[in-house]
């Protein structure tokens, strides 16, 4: 069986998924839709798929699944439409910037028995997966503390900041999901400190660029997150899990790993400078997992509920900064 997919949204991340689909023998990209004809054409040319409208894709009974890479504010609507149309859905995070809207969307999904997988790609990174395996197999014992360091090479453009929903909904949301992936227990409270240290313009737009968080579970497990919109040395993505029997850590990845020794010391090149090169393997594995769930007819994971919880954690963080106290997360 070959799963026939349509891609909604032919931008940067759409291209990544199109490539992953092309390399997986179990899937075929049969259609692409985008408001910008040039973007759609680029993917159609590369993959040999047709350019279609969203309506056409929705109506086509031969299309099994859609991959939603359109702007955030269209996600909830598209999820609802394609869940109703009976198609398996892979949607980039977040469901919506508004928790209430996301919750309503999930109601629809549940009602119609929709299958939605959310694009928390980092769960599929081979290094983070291996760290999780060291938890699952008991190697490090009972999880006690998680440390997540997550820093972008540089701040996004102002236009993006404006519509991003802020650092917690846009950037930390990945770390919230990773925290849940590693803690093994739901997060009860969120504390956060945030500031504008990198670029005053970010502050003028009402956002922060530097944030530290403590997530605490009911039993007292703790997760510390350190975020910055700037890391001169590349895309800084590290996790560490401390347990009763030991720790496991996944260090940064670099495209080239030579070391040069001179009178000035030992130097290794910077890290990957972009999430697409850093998470290439994760993006491929993510689509593969989506295809797995379609083939097996099982619920995809991470689910839309996972997306909703991450969003609720982002909201709690925003509130925590404002009121200067720990916020109890509402699920």
Q: Which stretch binds its own copies (CB under 8 A): 110-118, 178-186, 257-265, 295-303?
A: 257-265
**Which one of residues 251, 292, 295, 322 is an interface residue with its own copies (CB under 8 A)?**
251
Name every residue whose Cβ is closer than 8 Å to that of residue 93 and which is 6 or more positions away in sequence: 118, 119, 120, 173, 174, 177, 307, 310
Tell me which of 37, 71, 86, 126 binds its own copies, using CB under 8 A.
126
* Binding residue (CB under 8 A) for its own copies from 242, 276, 289, 319: 242
Helix axes 99-112, 304-323, angle to 10 degrees: 160
Window 156 to 215, contacts with its own copies (CB under 8 A)? 189, 191-198, 210-214
Q: Which of residues 301-330 bind its own copies (CB under 8 A)?
A: 323-326
Interface with its own copies, residue 42, by CB under 8 A: no
The verdict on 46 binding its own copies (CB under 8 A) reads yes
Rounded Cα distance, 50 and 48, in Å: 7
Which letter, b or e, does each residue of 24-44 get, where b requires 16 or more Cβ atoms within 10 Å of its Cβ?
A: beebbbbbbbbeeeebbebbb
Q: Which of residues 84-123 bind its own copies (CB under 8 A)?
A: none
Partner residues linked to 192 by β-bridges: 213
Q: Which of 101, 230 has the CB closer to its own copies? A: 230
Could you say whether residue 151 binds its own copies (CB under 8 A)? yes
Give residue 33's Cα distance to chain centre. Answer: 22
Closest separation in Å from C-beta 28 to its own copies: 13
Residue 1 lies near its own copies (rule: CB under 8 A): no
The tokens of 215 are what?
């997530």
222-241 binders of its own copies (CB under 8 A):
222-224, 226, 228, 230-233, 236
CA dihedral 181, 186, 188, 189 (to 10 degrees): 10
Min CB(222)–its own copies separation in Å: 4
Q: Using CB under 8 A, which of 40, 248, 291, 308 touches its own copies?
A: 248
259 scored as a contact of its own copies (CB under 8 A): yes
Neighbouring-strand partners of residue 32: 7, 51
**Given the complex with its own copies, which of 58 and 175 has the nearer CB atom?**
175
Q: Determine the Cα–Cα distance for residues 241 and 131; give it in Å rounded to an integer.
A: 8
Q: Is 173 exposed, middle or buried (0-12, 13-18, 19+ CB in 10 A)?
A: buried
């Amino acid at each position: 069986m070959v799963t026939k997919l349509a891609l909604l949204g032919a931008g940067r991340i759409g291209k990544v998924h199109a490539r992953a689909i092309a390399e997986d023998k179990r899937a075929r990209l049969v259609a692409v839709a985008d408001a910008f004809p040039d973007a759609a054409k680029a993917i159609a040319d590369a993959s040999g798929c047709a350019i279609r409208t969203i309506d056409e894709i929705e109506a086509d009974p031969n299309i099994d699944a859609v991959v939603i890479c359109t702007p955030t504010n269209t996600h909830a609507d598209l999820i609802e439409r394609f869940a109703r149309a009976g198609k398996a859905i892979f949607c980039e995070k977040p469901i919506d910037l508004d928790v209430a809207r996301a919750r309503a969307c999930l109601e629809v999904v549940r009602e119609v028995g929709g299958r939605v997988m959310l694009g928390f790609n980092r769960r599929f990174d081979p290094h983070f997966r291996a760290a999780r395996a060291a938890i699952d197999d008991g190697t490090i014992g009972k999880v006690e503390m998680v440390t997540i360091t997550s820093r972008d090479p540089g701040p996004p453009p102002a236009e993006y900041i404006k519509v991003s929903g802020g650092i917690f909904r846009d950037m930390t949301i990945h770390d919230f999901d990773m925290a849940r992936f590693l803690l093994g227990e739901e997060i009860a409270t969120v504390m956060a400190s945030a500031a504008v240290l990198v670029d005053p313009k970010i502050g003028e737009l009402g956002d922060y660029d530097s944030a530290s968080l403590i997530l605490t579970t009911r039993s007292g497990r703790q997760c510390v997150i350190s975020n910055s919109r700037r890391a001169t040395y590349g895309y800084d993505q590290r996790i560490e899990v401390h347990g009763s029997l030991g720790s496991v850590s996944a260090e940064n990845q670099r495209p080239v790993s030579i070391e040069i020794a001179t009178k000035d010391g030992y130097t290794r090149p910077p890290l990957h400078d972009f999430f697409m090169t850093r998470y290439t393997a994760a993006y491929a594995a993510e689509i593969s997992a989506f295809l797995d769930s379609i083939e097996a007819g099982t619920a995809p994971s991470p689910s839309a509920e996972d997306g909703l919880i991450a969003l609720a954690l982002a909201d709690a963080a925003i509130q925590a900064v404002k009121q200067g106290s720990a916020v109890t997360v509402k699920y």
